[in-house]
Amino acid sequence: MPDLKTADDRLIVALDMPDALSGMAMAEKIGDAVSFYKIGLGMLTGGGLALANELADEHGKRIFLDMKLFDIGATVEAAVRGLSQFGHDFLTVHGDPHVVRAAAQTKGDMKILAVTILTSLDRADLDASCIKAGDITDLVQERAGLALSNGADGVIASPQEAALIRALPEAEGKLIITPGVRPAGADLGDQKRVTTPAQAIANGADHVVVGRPIWQHSDPKAAAEAILVELHSPQEMS
Q: Which of 8, 19, 32, 71 is flagged as catalytic?
A: 71
Is 71 tagged catalytic? yes
C-alpha 140, offset from chain centre:
16
Catalytic-role residue among 66, 89, 107, 174: 66
Cβ neighbours of residue 10 closer than 8 Å, sequence gap 6 or more: 201, 206, 207, 208, 231
CA angle 18, 24, 25 (to 5 degrees): 90
> How many C-beta atoms surround the C-beta of residue 121 within 10 A?
18
End-to-end CA distance of the chain: 36
Annotation marks residue 57 as catalytic? no
Binding residues: 16, 38, 66-75, 119, 182, 191, 211-212
Identify the helix (H) or strand (E) that includes residue 101.
helix 97-105
Which of these, 188, 189, 199, 192, lies nearest to 227 by C-alpha position? 199
Helix axes 20-30, 220-231, angle to 10 degrees: 60
Give the Cα separation of 34 and 12 in Å (integer).
8
Q: Which residues are annotated as part of the binding site for substrate?
A: 16, 38, 66-75, 119, 182, 191, 211-212
Q: Choose the catalytic residue: 68, 107, 174, 192.
A: 68
To the query of whether residue 8 is one of the catalytic residues in this protein, the response is no
Query: What Rg, from alpha-carbon coordinates, does the chain have?
Result: 17
Q: How far, in Å, are 22, 72, 97, 114 from residue 100 at the CA level?
A: 32, 11, 5, 7
List residues with catalytic annotation.
66, 68, 71
